[in-house]
Structure 1
Amino acid sequence: MPASRTTPARKTAGASKRVGTRGARLPARVAAAISAAQDKKAVEVVVLDLRKASGFTDYFLICTGANARQIQAIADAVREALKKEFGERPALAEGIEKSEWILLDYFDFVVHVFSRECRAFYGLERLWGNAERRELTEPA
């Protein structure tokens, strides 16, 4: 991984936390993002483990909001939680203006907050069908 993609919070990436994925452990930063999204009532929360399927990131956190305002609130909550708990901001944030699909890139994981229509159209879970899928069955 290039040095420019390393962040101070990367040191904590190895820490893991048990979340509602049937006993599986996820990095603490991913778990914090899940918790923040669920606090804002994100639905259909899924984590794709891309470590064996991808070279550019370890996890996708994919969730859905009911409308543009909720999608924005979910993304804001994730950004605020990771800044507060780990002092980290996303390297890239896209889609903020339209709030149909907001992407937050934290290098070793990427958060995707979708509208229902946009999520169905792009079908990231289908595109990354070879990745291990973890559906969140309970709050983080």
Structure 2
Amino acid sequence: MTRLHAELDPTELAHRIVEIVSDHKGSDVLMLKTGELTSLADYFVIATGRSDRQVTALAGVLVEELRAQGVRPLGVEGRSGARWVLLDFNDVIVHLFTPDERERYDLERLWSAAPAVVRLV
């Protein structure tokens, strides 16, 4: 993938995202190494918020804390009241779900060939 963030390489960025989400009470945080399987991103980070409000808050905190480090998302899909928010950081794509939406879309099964780098339950 093209490197847009001089401060963090894709692996460092993915680990930083896991740390931020975990620190702000996101649960079942999973980091998948997807670069060998797709050109979409080197990593996917998938996490669960207890409610749509928490999913929205986690997305806001991620954008705010990473922006302070000079990292901005290329795009964000889903906003307030969303049960699924996707944040595209080019090399890392973040999926934040409510429990029901995570179960419904089951990205872990869809990307089961991707090795799990981190799993925080």
Q: TM-score, normalised by structure 2?
A: 0.90
Q: Is 1:30 equivalent to 2:26 in the alignment?
A: no
Q: Which residue of 2 aligns with 1:77?
A: 61
Q: Which residue of 2 aligns with 1:53?
A: 37
The aligned amino acid for 2:103 is A
Q: What is the CA-CA distance between 1:137 and the residue it aligns to?
A: 3.8
Structure 1 distance, partners of 2:71, 2:118, is 25
5+ residue gaps, structure 1 = 15-26
**Equivalent pair of 2:48/2:98 in contact (CA under 8 Å):** yes
Q: Which residue of 2 aligns with 1:109?
A: 92
Q: Which residue of 2 aligns with 1:128?
A: 111
Q: Is 1:90 equivalent to 2:73 in the alignment?
A: yes
Structure 1 distance, partners of 2:51, 2:63, is 19
Structure 1 stretches (4+) deviating beyond 2 angstroms? 134-138
* Greater Rg over alpha carbons, structure: 1
Q: Which residue of 1 aligns with 2:23?
A: 39
Alpha-carbon RMSD across the aligned residues, in angstroms, is: 1.8
Q: Is 1:67 equivalent to 2:51 in the alignment?
A: yes
Q: 1:12 aligns with which of 8, 12, 37?
A: 8
Structure 2 distance, partners of 1:72, 1:11, is 26
Percent sequence identity over matched residues?
Answer: 31
**Equivalent pair of 1:33/1:81 in contact (CA under 8 Å):** no
- The superposition leaves residues 45-100 of structure 1 with CA deviations (integer Å, 9 ceiling, x where unpaired) of 00111021111210000000001111111111111121112x12110100114320
Structure 1 distance, partners of 2:118, 2:8, is 23
- The superposition leaves residues 89-125 of structure 1 with CA deviations (integer Å, 9 ceiling, x where unpaired) of 1101001143200000001010100001101111111
5+ residue gaps, structure 2 = none
Structure 2 distance, partners of 1:60, 1:10, is 20
Match of 1:136, SS state, is: strand
